[in-house]
Amino acid sequence: MSAVEIRDVQKSYGGHPVLHGVSVDIPDGEFVALVGPSGCGKSTLLRMIAGLEDITAGEIAIGGKVMNDFAPKDRDIAMVFQNYALYPHMNVADNMGFALKQRGFSREVIKERVADAARILGLESLLARKPRQLSGGQRQRVAMGRAIVRHPNVFLFDEPLSNLDAKLRVQMRSELKELHQRLGTTTVYVTHDQIEAMTLADRVVVMNAGRVEQIGAPLDLYDRPGSLFVAAFIGSPPMNFLAGTVNEQGQLQVEDGLSLAIPGGGLRPGQRLTVGVRPEHLELAETGWPATVSVVEPTGSETQIMTRLGNQVIRVLIRGRTDLKPGAVVHLGADPAHIHRFDTMTGRRL
């Protein structure tokens, strides 16, 4: 078993806390992504799982065994870094087999494992090349191959695709997902890119300022974000927000002269409310919120339309194309099931 249990883990640097009691249970074979903005603590947490950072308080267990006092080499993990960390003077085969050689594996076992990993990753024709002769995507495959040959209980990935161009990132995402489906190894993957997290992971852990905001399957986070932070972070283009106070008529008073009917009921006058709706869940309708088109951005299969609702900027994403021009007046409608409501003061979902 290679489950990872993170129990009330805390981390401080010089008395300054950066992780505040993080708890996550990762079952055997699951792919979990730690996602959040820079400085949220996700890479620190990954390095603590790897044993590269000390734990101030709490426990981290792998396979049921508490690892707090174990050295990285004794944790049966393999880590893939952002910068590949390949030895420039070694060829691909030697890079992939180096850790096994250091552990005393026989030449035959090393050769067999390197060949197996090369076949899985499509590196068979590159085994004699040096890292400088490889593309960025090929180098990342070699870094993954070096992890695979160890047959670890847990894979740890620290933003492995961030150095690649956009097209190659998409390709490598698919290859990573296929690799996990083939090997079934427990995987913890750190990224600041929520699209990577959504497409790769079985579950996503959204972190903010050293705390866990929400844990769930990607589509659960998309459909029912538990806080304003998660709602703003998950989804591309990001969710639109309108903040205001509920008036005596039960409408959301966004600004002077702009009050909007909010479906769902259950609101009380004076309540501070933030309403969120995703651009793809808005539509151009006969009636609804009146808005003025300011920018039209065609992307081929979709069109993004930036509108102004009073002083608020609202983005709409529609399938196909449109003849709308800046200055046109439209009405925005949304299915009530896709309108999210949050307490403005606490930021929590209502």
Quick one: which H or E segment has residue 115?
helix 107-121
pLDDT below 70 — which residues of the chain?
A: 1
Rounded Cα gap, residues 82 and 40, in angstroms: 17
pLDDT for res 257: 78
For the stretch 30-60, pLDDT in tens is: 999 999 999 999 999 999 999 999 999 999 9
Q: Which CA distances in Å does 25 have to 31, 56, 203?
A: 12, 19, 11
pLDDT for res 260: 84
Q: What is the CA radius of gyration of the chain?
A: 24
Rounded Cα gap, residues 55 and 298, in angstroms: 49
The DSSP code for 14 is: T
pTM: 0.91
Longest alpha-carbon distance in the chain? 79
β-pairing verdict for 77-80 and 302-309: unpaired
pLDDT for res 177: 93
Q: Are 61 and 4 in contact (CB under 8 A)?
A: yes
pLDDT for res 293: 96
pLDDT for res 123: 92
Concatenated DSSP letters for 24-78? EEE-TT-EEEEE-STTSSHHHHHHHHHTSS--SEEEEEETTEE-TT--GGGS-EE
